[in-house]
Amino acid sequence: MAALVRNDSRIILHLVTPPRSHVKDLRTNFIQDYDCFYASVFEVEQPALKSLPLAVQQKQIVVTCNYEARRRGLHKLQLIKDAKRICPDVVIVMGEDLTKFRNASKELYLFARSIVWGGRVEKLGFDELFLDVTEMIDYNTGVLNPNDLSNSFFHLDPKDPTVGFPYNATRFQGSTFPATEPDLIAPTDPSSLEMRLLVASHLQGHLRGMLEHQIGFTATGGISTSKLLAKLVGNVHKPNGQTTLLPPYTATGETPSNVSLFLDDHEIRKIPGIGSRIAQKLESHIIGQETVDEAITVRDVRQFPGMGAPLLEKVLGGPGSPKGIGMRMWNILHGVDNSEVLEGRDVPTQISIEDSYGRLDTLDSVRRELEILTRSLIRRMRTDLLDTSDDTVPQGQWRAHPRTLRLSTRPRPPPDTDTGRTYSYNRISRSTPLPPFIFNLDENIDALAERLVRESLISMFRKLHPEKSGWNLSLLNVAVTNMVERAGDQKKHSGRDIGKMFRQQETVLREWTVHEPESSPPVEAPPIEVSRLPPESPEIQPQLEDDWDDGDDEPVGMECPICGVSIPHFAQLAHQMYHSAPE
Ligand code: DCP
Ligand code: MG
Ligand code: MG
């Protein structure tokens, strides 16, 4: 319960503000989740699509669709053939090349970062941002005039009092949980949690308005004191809405906490941080059977006799479980999440390009594929690591130098003789210092790629696979890691340079063309591991997958609409064939 108290006065939005040590409990965070993101990227390019039912296709699946299509019965992760049957006039666009989504995602991230003081904007997947706006809320609640709240002005730049927007600080912007008549809510104490959340709701409304009217994307938002609560409350009014989780955040006397009121009806499976294995263990403990289909809610777990951190530790702990899982789960069930919104980085920590294969078993084909991957890798390095802001250096200057070259492969074991299915091995890899010639901007990319394969990658490959034949690979990955930023650049994104931010913001808004942004979110994610792959198919088309910002940053796969298993993109076609194959 102590943890609950700590959480009580935090404010989280689906844009998140950074906690400062002395206002640790007054964090204001929010989250923004763009509506039908991939579909919106196409709509921004071609506004005429907005009024039509639009679906984005990857393999045979609707990966997302716009809200016009949803009104007509389509939904995310539906089979294309079902979508066509339900809505014959659906407009289908291919979305397998992720470049434009990645670029739009970075552009939107940069936009948010240009506004939020301290740059505490964290990406979650491609289309969600947490913004820690604590500092902005500290400042703006500090300048409120309690005698004239309806004529307030939100300052977006403390150095220039004219930059900002007017707002009415006697009412929340957008929706609230619990739903309340806006006129009935009128906090007057500028330092209260209510007022902080109220002011934050206007900031989020303003940002969403800018996004919509100046860039063309609508987003849905949530406002609270932690990432967890901001994210969950952000789901309440979709699309193009925002919801603030109202205090009280702790129960007092007869008054229940709104956090519990809000969380208790959630299925535990829907709570971020509770994966399906944990949910299953909790469900079988609560319901008392090994396999259960019944979904249980946060309330069911929280109010279960004897429930608490020790019992959760007993149920969930054991080999393979992280230490302290009981306390972590108990906190989550009470909406307590002390994780911070992480500040973004301007350069990635690594860039890697990979592809998957149905069959790759000769040195010639490996050499050919390595050259293809290396060409993409060099292109990506030039896009992400070159600073082209100085007109006197037309080719640009390297903002960072990766020091290490890494080659990874994933060998494919022979099929299981009983079932005919194959199971994947883990990746194996080797690293070596990255030869400096790769940074030569006068040389063309094809020649550089050919040389890197000939001089480095092939010998690394031979060390990984000393046998001349007999191997068969399901994946190749070429990466540059161990990034060293140019002197001076490391400091550029720490601290706050409002002037620069606003210049950057203008640039972002003026040139809404999808180009490579000059900064990027944190990267470095473990390789995608698939413990079991569906049967191989000769029809699997190798698909370039670069994981510049993989892991958290990029959807690594989709849930199969038939069996619900999470399948990486490259394996989706094979997985569908697995379902359609006769038993
Ligand atoms: N995506 C994907 N594979 C998944 C889930 C999502 O490739 N399994 C992609 C397509 C989405 C984007 O990521 O457009 C963002 O995912 P969301 O779940 O936020 O979905 P949308 O933004 O499309 O829709 P919503 O309006 O419901 O947020
Ligand atoms: Mg979305
Ligand atoms: Mg999303």
How does pLDDT run across 265-276, given as a tens digit for each residue?
Answer: 999 989 988 878
DSSP class of residue 457 equals I
Does 225 map to a domain? yes
Least confident piece of the model among 28-32, 46-50, 246-250, 263-267 = 28-32
Tell me: do 242 and 388 sit in the same domain: no
Substitution candidate for ligand 1 out of 64, 75, 242 with most atoms within 8 A of CB: 64
Least confident piece of the model among 1-10, 285-294, 315-324, 342-351 = 1-10
Tell me: do 310 and 395 sit in the same domain: no
Phi, psi of 498 (to 5 degrees): -60, -40
Ligand 1 contact, 313 CB (< 6 A): no
Does 564 map to a domain? no
Ligand 1 contact, 129 CB (< 6 A): no
Ligand 3 center from residue 403 Cα (angstroms): 34
Ligand 1 contact, 64 CB (< 6 A): yes
Ligand 1 contact, 67 CB (< 6 A): no
Tell me: do 245 and 375 sit in the same domain: no
Ligand 1 contact, 239 CB (< 6 A): yes
- Nearest ligand to residue 39 Cα: 1
Mean pLDDT of the chain: 78
CATH of the domain at 307: 1.10.150
Residue 10 has pLDDT above 50, yes or no: no
Residue that finishes a domain, picked among 233, 255, 277: 255
Contacts of 164 (CB under 8 A, 6+ apart): 153, 154, 155, 156, 157
Determine the length of the chain.
583
DSSP for 182-242 reads GGG-----TTSHHHHHHHHHHHHHHHHHHIIIII---EEEEEEESHHHHHHHHTSS-SS-E
Tell me: do 322 and 375 sit in the same domain: no
Tell me: do 30 and 124 sit in the same domain: yes
Q: Per mean pLDDT, which of 41-55, 303-317, 373-387 is the most reliable?
A: 41-55
Residue 537 has pLDDT above 70, yes or no: no
Tell me: do 172 and 246 sit in the same domain: yes
Share of the chain above pLDDT 90, in %: 50
Does 573 map to a domain? no
Tell me: do 420 and 384 sit in the same domain: yes
Residue 536 has pLDDT above 50, yes or no: no
Does 67 map to a domain? no
Tell me: do 394 and 327 sit in the same domain: no
Residue 489 has pLDDT above 80, yes or no: no
Ligand 1 contact, 554 CB (< 6 A): no
Q: How many CB atoms lie within 10 A of CB 97?
A: 11
Establish whether the linkage from the previous residue to 247 is cis, with ω within 30° of 0.
no
H/E element holding 55? strand 54-58
Strand partners, 32: 221
pLDDT tens across 416-428, in order? Answer: 666 655 555 688 9
Residue 9, both tokens: 């006065």
Pick 565 or 321 by higher pLDDT. 321
Give the pLDDT of residue 421: 57
In this structure, which amino acid lies at residue 548?
Answer: W
Give the pLDDT of residue 424: 56
Ligand 1 contact, 38 CB (< 6 A): yes
| Domain extent at residue 165 | 2-37+97-255
Using the atom order of ligand 1, give the atom closest to the CA of residue 65. 23
Give the pLDDT of residue 301: 93
- Ligand 1, atom 4: closest residue by C-alpha: 558
Pick 489 or 277 by higher pLDDT. 277
CATH of the domain at 26: 3.30.70.270
> Residue 330 in 3-state DSSP?
helix
Whether 279 contacts 271, CB under 8 Å: no
- Ligand 1, atom 7: closest residue by C-alpha: 555
CATH of the domain at 519: 3.30.1490.100
> Residue 477 in 3-state DSSP?
strand
Tell me: do 230 and 248 sit in the same domain: yes
Tell me: do 274 and 186 sit in the same domain: no
Tell me: do 403 and 476 sit in the same domain: yes
Domain count, the chain: 3
The gap from C-alpha 89 to its chain's centroid, in whole angstroms, comes to 32
